[in-house]
Amino acid sequence: MAFRRRFAVRLAARVLLLLVALSVASLLAAYQRAPTAMLLAIGFALIVTIGLWRLITESNAELTRFVAALDRVDLSQSFTWSGRGAGFDRLGAAYERALARLREERSGGAVAATFASALADGAPTPLLVLGPGDALTLGNKAARRQFGRGSPTNVAALDIYGEAFVDLLRGAGPGPSRLGRIVVDGLIQRVVVDTTLIELGGDVRRIVAVKVIQAELDGAELAAQIDLVRVLTHEIMNSLTPVTSLAATAKHLLDALDATGQPAIGDAQLAVGALARRAGELEHFVETYKGFSEAPTLRREPIDVADWLTRTAALHAATPNATAPVTLDIASGLPSLDGDVALLTQVLLNLLKNASEAVAAADDPRIRLTAEARPQGRIRIAVTDTGPGIAPHLAREVFLPFFTTKPRGSGIGLSFARQIVLLHGGQIEVGAEMPSCIELSLPIAANAAHPR
């Protein structure tokens, strides 16, 4: 405001002086008097006109330069005009303050953008940017680690993670989270996706957050199973203990009687004896499962995979359950596993025992134990046999407590194996393409080299 008032006063003063000079020159010319004074008046009018022209021209030029600097976002311009008068020093100061605010806002915006970029890039959840069309951009480090193989540039290139996952991404949109399946390291896992829409350069893009939740689901399921087993074993033992005690007492009393000539007593002795034995077997079964309800403490250490598998296969070969030789197929240069070697050995022995029982009646009994490095810092271990395999509809049920397909099975082996593998942060599944194969995916040791 102050500048505008000063500029208006100066401009009005110059215009007034110009009018006065022109009026004086006109009067002198009309009366043809004092030609020298007339010439001076005309010269003064020219000087005032030139000053007025310069005032307006300089103001317009500097305003043009200021607007051009804004248009080009050239914040390096300077408008310091101290001592030039006519309020130019105030105008320059105003321009400088405006540019200073723009520099500050731009700097703040750059800092915010850098922070947002670093935040997104460091997020543990993979972010995929979809669009325009079928185009794909891996949005952060987690996405590059999870999906960076082959440097995919479109959604179709992710078919190595399963057609269901590709369809899930193509149908992803804003709204509630969507649940689907993804194939990671040859294992089918649950995944949840959340989608956000953004407009960039006139095109709509989708930012899809991909979270593999199989580990969380497995952990919750295992905890529920453990709680269930704990409750069941407690209640069953409370009911079974007096039955076992009474059956043993009744058997003792009946054994003391003379069954000669009394067939009914003999039949009662057989019945009570069978009841006592069965009650004892049930008590032993429940006691065995009580151990399942108490998760063991892991004693982790680096495990040399080749040495561990070789020793475990030799240990299995020395047991009476070995009905077929075990062929080892171990990739060279495998990194160390991170785990409890005693518990993992027990898991592997259980799987080899099951494989031996499965091939017992096979025409060509063979068992193969393989190990190979997988992406994401894991090792795949598989036990494959030439037996009939597990029916597809039972692929999940075989790992549940109490579930068994064997006539005299206890339903402990595979459920115990799954518990131990999950405690290690791994996975265990029936092979998707080979129902006679059990696959394990286990993490490598923290200081081991990750497979490429």
SS3 letters across 263-314 = HHHHHHHHHHHHHHHHHHHHHHHHHHHHHHCCCCCCCCEEECHHHHHHHHHH
Q: What would the pLDDT profile of 102-156 be if each residue is shown by its tens digit?
A: 767 776 666 666 777 777 777 888 999 988 888 898 888 888 888 887 788 889 8
Beta bridge partners, 186, equal: none
Can you tell me the distance from the alpha carbon of 357 to that of 405, in angstroms, rounded to the nearest whole number? 12
Q: For 64, phi and psi rounded to 5 degrees?
A: -60, -40
- Is this structure's pTM higher than 0.85? no
pLDDT, tens digit only, all 452 positions of the chain: 444 555 566 667 667 776 776 676 676 666 666 666 666 666 766 776 776 677 667 666 766 766 666 555 565 666 555 444 445 556 556 666 776 777 677 766 666 667 777 777 778 889 999 888 888 988 888 888 888 877 888 898 898 888 899 999 988 888 888 999 888 776 788 899 999 988 877 788 899 999 988 878 877 777 777 676 676 666 677 777 777 777 778 777 777 776 666 777 777 777 777 777 777 767 766 665 666 566 677 888 899 999 999 999 988 888 877 788 899 999 988 999 988 888 899 889 889 988 898 888 788 888 999 999 887 788 999 999 988 888 877 877 877 776 777 666 666 778 888 888 888 888 888 876 676 888 888 888 766 554 44
Specify whether the CB–CB gap between 436 and 372 falls below 8 A: no
**pLDDT value, residue 305:** 92
What residue spans define the domains of the chain?
2-114, 124-212, 217-292, 301-443
Q: Which CATH superfamily is domain 301-443 in?
A: Histidine kinase-like ATPase, C-terminal domain (3.30.565.10)
Q: What pLDDT shows up at residue 381? A: 92
**For residue 128, what is the DSSP state?**
E
Please give the Cα distance from 396 to 52 (Å, whole number).
92
Give me the sheet containing 187-200, strands edge to edge.
136-138, 127-130, 203-212, 187-200, 178-184
Which residue from 208, 143, 211, 205 is spatially nearest to 179, judged by alpha carbons?
A: 211
Please, what sign has the CA dihedral across residues 337, 339, 342, 345?
negative
pLDDT attached to residue 107: 66
DSSP 26-82: HHHHHHT--HHHHHHHHHHHHHHHHHHHHHHHHHHHHHHHHHHHHHTT-TT-----T
Instruction: For residue range 236-259, list pLDDT tens digits in order.
Output: 777 777 777 777 787 777 777 766
Angle, helix 263-292 to helix 413-423, in steps of 10 degrees: 10
Between vectors from CA 116 to CA 111 and to CA 120, what angle results, nearest 5°? 150
| CATH T-level topology, domain 124-212 | Beta-Lactamase (3.30.450)
SS3 91: helix
